[in-house]
Structure 1
Amino acid sequence: MADQRRSPRPERRSGGQSRGGSGGPRREGDRRQGPQRDGDRRQGDQARGQRGARTGSRAPRTGDWSRPREEQRPRNESQAVYDGPPIPENITGGELDRSVSGQLKGLPEKLAARVARHLAAAGMLIDSDPETAYQHTLAARARASRLAVVREATGEAAYASGHYAEALAELRAAKRMNGATAYLPIMADCHRALGHPEQALKLAKSPSVAKFASAAKAEMTIVEAGARRDMGQLDAALRTLELAPLTSKSREPWVVRLRYAYADTLEAAGRETDALAWFHRTHAIDSDEITDAASRADALERRQA
């Protein structure tokens, strides 16, 4: 099912004012005139001690950060998620597309910068280290969970790293926020991965799918065919793929993936000769080798020899 599952990725208010001193300079009249007598001093010390005992909980706390490193307590899970993985120094957040960075402008400047850096780091790692990319998006979500672009990024990274239930929840949240339907193929594939192919088919039949661009429509077709296969409906899976533009002259990745899915389903249906032909037709336009069509064809040829 791995070959059938992989849709393309469509990509706390902090630092409040510091409080200092008593809130402003004292007036001259507030100062005591002349030296304190010993009695006054003792009474004042006692009063201060009593106030400290009554209001000790309001005294500033030093916290673990004031302790030597070896005495600091380990971060709990929520703190670790909030901090996120270390962000490489060369990532500034300027790497984000303008459409993404524009949605962060409503945040305070420092907060927006931190969220942007986490999202940029996730984008750079999502192919090579999807789990770390996912952790970066969780750190961004901990800071800006009300932004659809953050929930979208979290969902896509969760999907890439195999956290399908989390991906589905995040993409649903993003869809509620911005009404976008571009997430539907990934959401449908998450349902497949979670063992609910019938839910995937419901999403595949959504009216908005008809308005998808060619690439997104192809991805939904692949997911729909995969759901049919999950349900043991190989003939229905083949019919679904045969309605797609398999013979398109385009060499775009979506055509490559459509052809590959068709060849793979033909082989699963026992039609090895037809499958071999379509693996060859897939390899012919797969200049970037995004599939293993060539090796699949070789394997079939050896089996038929």
Structure 2
Amino acid sequence: MHENSSYERPSRNPRDLRRSNRDERDRSPEIDEDITGKELDREASRQLGTLTDVNRKWVAKHLIMAGRLLEIDPQLAFEHALAASRRGGRLAVVREAVGLAAYAAGDYAEALRELRTYRRISGDNTHLAVMADCLRGVGKPDKAVELTQEPEAQRLTGSARAELAMVLSGAYLDQDDTEAALKALEVPELDINRAYPFSPRLFAAYAEVLHTLGRTDEAEKWRARVSVAEKALGTGAFEDPEILDFDDEDEEPATPRLKDVLPQKPDSDKGRTWH
């Protein structure tokens, strides 16, 4: 033992910059009573299988809570994801959940850090658009543009490419380069006769840039297709209202699985067509 007995071993790795490992972190949020942790999909459960029984249950429950709250209370969802990270921070699925929850909560620096780690661990490039948008969020549109030019980004197709195009267009607008912003949106998925889940937003973004450039007739044409696409998809103004039945109080609440929480890989890019 060293003679200097005043030395104290640090309680955590000082190189670990995760929010979940900071000394000032809050205590873990409460778990809803109906959460069992068994709601996870097969792939997430497989990853959590490397943890001890106690840690596996802890991480699973907090991941499910993060998903349940993501759209209702993003900040609380983020706290649940951080709680999962304290015991499962080496798992790709956990870092992905933390990154996406941080993004939803508006903590772009934390989201970027976590999604970079997720990308390194998993080799998955699905969230490049979110990462680029985080760079915009921290005031680095030039870095966002650089990210979209990486070879992995250039190989994206379908919804992933469309999402990246919208972020890239926004980054060019941040730099006052409207012509480049318009060109960025002109991807194969910008099809006026086909509606994908992202089409209303893509059409609206394209119409807005056209309007900024003074091409008003074209802008109106694309703006009109937004509602057409929403009607075809049953979204936006054409989405069925949620009906709550307060008579069935004993019915078990539906709990999302993790695959319902995290954005799905773009394995289905079939849109609806019209003439």
Give me the TM-score of the superposition, normalised by structure 1. 0.66
* Residue 282 to residue 193, structure 1, CA distance change in 2 (3 Å): same
CA distance in 2, matches of 1:163, 1:192: 12
Where does structure 2 lack aligned partners over 5 or more consecutive residues?
A: 1-21, 239-275
Identify the match of residue 158 of structure 1 among 102, 112, 118.
102
CA distance in 1, matches of 2:188, 2:207: 13
CA distance in 1, matches of 2:193, 2:38: 37
CA distance in 2, matches of 1:97, 1:268: 45
Verify the 8 A CA contact 1:260 1:291 in the aligned structure 2: no
Across the two proteins, how many residue pairs are aligned to each other?
A: 215
| Aligned twin of 2:30 | 86
How do 1:138-153 and structure 2 match up within 5 A? 138-153=82-97
Verify the 8 A CA contact 1:221 1:244 in the aligned structure 2: no
How do 1:160-239 and structure 2 match up within 5 A? 160-239=104-183
Q: Which runs of 4+ in 1 moved over 6 A?
A: none
Tell me, what secondary structure is at the counterpart of 1:93?
A: coil
Greater mean deviation of Cα atoms: 251-260 or 136-145: 251-260
CA distance in 1, matches of 2:86, 2:192: 44
CA distance in 1, matches of 2:210, 2:192: 19
Greater helix percent: which structure?
A: 1
Amino acid at match of 2:162: A
| Aligned twin of 2:65 | 121
Greater mean deviation of Cα atoms: 258-267 or 116-125: 258-267
CA distance in 2, matches of 1:290, 1:167: 27
Where does structure 1 lack aligned partners over 5 or more consecutive residues?
A: 1-76, 293-305
Deviations 1:127-163 (A, max 9, x none): 1111110000010111111111111100000001100
Whether 1:267 aligns to 2:211 is: yes
Amino acid at match of 1:130: P
Identify the match of residue 277 of structure 1 among 221, 226, 229.
221
* Residue 80 to residue 239, structure 1, CA distance change in 2 (3 Å): closer
Which has the larger Rg? Answer: 1
Q: Percent identity?
A: 41
Verify the 8 A CA contact 1:131 1:161 in the aligned structure 2: yes
Give me the TM-score of the superposition, normalised by structure 2. 0.73
Tell me, what secondary structure is at the counterpart of 1:253?
A: coil
Aligned-residue offset at 1:96: 2.0
CA distance in 1, matches of 2:114, 2:120: 10
Amino acid at match of 1:201: V
Aligned-residue offset at 1:79: 7.8
Deviations 1:258-305 (A, max 9, x none): 11210121223333332222111111011344489xxxxxxxxxxxxx
